[in-house]
A = this chain, B = another copy of it.
Amino acid sequence: MTDENKQRLDSYIEAVNRRIDIYKNSYGGNSSDHQYEVTQAMWYSLEAGGKRIRPVLAEEFCRVCGGSSEQALTAAAAVEMIHTFSLIHDDLPCMDNDDYRRGRPSCHKAFREDTALLAGDALENLAYRIIADDDKLSAEKKVMLIRELTEAVGIHGMIGGQVIDMYNDGTEVFSDEKLLKMYMMKTSALLRAACRMGCICAGAYDRADDAGNYADRLGLAFQIIDDILDITSSEEVLGKTCGSDAASGKCTYAAVHGVKASEEYAAVLTDEAMTYLERFEDNKFLIWLTEQLLHRKS
């Protein structure tokens, strides 16, 4: 069973990677042009071997809702482009100033800072463009997908969460309420979009709320595990700078409540997430994936 799940996971990752490669050829610049530099930076970060959690969720929710996982590939790639854009901008010197990402120099270290800035801007743009350009999606679906994605990205979603995180510099002790709100915006919002967009691609609009409620809990658990790993893991395993939260005096759930209590809360959130998965038939892979994410080491 685990082998079967692992195979499905790999095939989903391969499928979205292939799609991202196709976009490189159709939207990437010509190698003789200066703008090729930014195209290279965009795909350097896109192809950095992330876990592709968001694309996998979009593909699988599309399948369990009666579509084929291929139908969700445009949405899956779009969400991954948004995620990558956010990582590139997040790593910039004026933000978290992180030199490493996924075991490699972060985008502004591998390229120039201005190149990284524009690569992020261009990825944000391209995410919406590939949805609008997809001939296989109806205009109604395209609009629904773009609404989901823009709402998840904006000031009340991912970007808003990053803003709150900017003020999380040790000068203010965040209440649990504020901390969890920040996690919901910074992490859950885009996972929610991925899951809901998978349902939309399948035409199963009435399943989007259950998928979104699952993603909210998954995102909180995922972020809390991120906090824990920042305390307990090593740079080698994690592929990025460790202990950076503590060094910058950041308030995190794990820092406030300790590793053990945080692991317990992540498990509670995962249980809640599972109750939403139970509303979907053929949910074995999603249950397995959720467990994997809870027990990850990087």
Instruction: Tell me the nearest residue of chain B to A133, going by C-beta.
Output: B147
Which chain B residues lie closer than 8 Å to A33 at the CB level? Answer: 160, 164
The binding surface of chain A is classed by DSSP as helix
Q: How far is the CB of A97 from chain B (nearest CB, A)?
A: 10
Contact of A125 with B139 at beta-carbon distance under 8 Å, contacts A89-B117, A115-B163, A132-B147 already known: no
Instruction: Tell me the nearest residue of chain B to A116, going by C-beta.
Output: B94
Using an 8 Å CB-CB cutoff, how does the interface string of A10-50 with B read, 1 for contact, 0 for none?
00000000000000000111000111011100100000000
Contact of A35 with B142 at beta-carbon distance under 8 Å, contacts A117-B89, A126-B150, A151-B129 already known: no
Using an 8 Å CB-CB cutoff, how does the interface string of A134-168 with B read, 1 for contact, 0 for none?
00001110110011001101111001101110110
Is A155 a contact partner of B124 (Cβ separation < 8 A)?
no
Instruction: Tell me the nearest residue of chain B to A151, going by C-beta.
Output: B129
Is A154 a contact partner of B27 (Cβ separation < 8 A)?
yes
**A37-B167, A38-B155, A126-B155 given. 18 additional CB < 8 A pairs?**
A27-B154, A29-B156, A34-B167, A35-B160, A85-B121, A89-B117, A92-B117, A94-B114, A115-B163, A115-B166, A120-B121, A122-B154, A125-B154, A125-B159, A126-B154, A129-B150, A129-B154, A142-B146
A95 within 8 A of B: yes
Taken together as a complex, chains A and B put the C-alpha atoms of A139 and B37 apart, in Å, by 35
Interface centre among A39, A115, A128, A139 (most CB of B within 10 A): A128
Instruction: Tell me the nearest residue of chain B to A182, going by C-beta.
Output: B34
Taken together as a complex, chains A and B put the C-alpha atoms of A37 and B121 apart, in Å, by 21
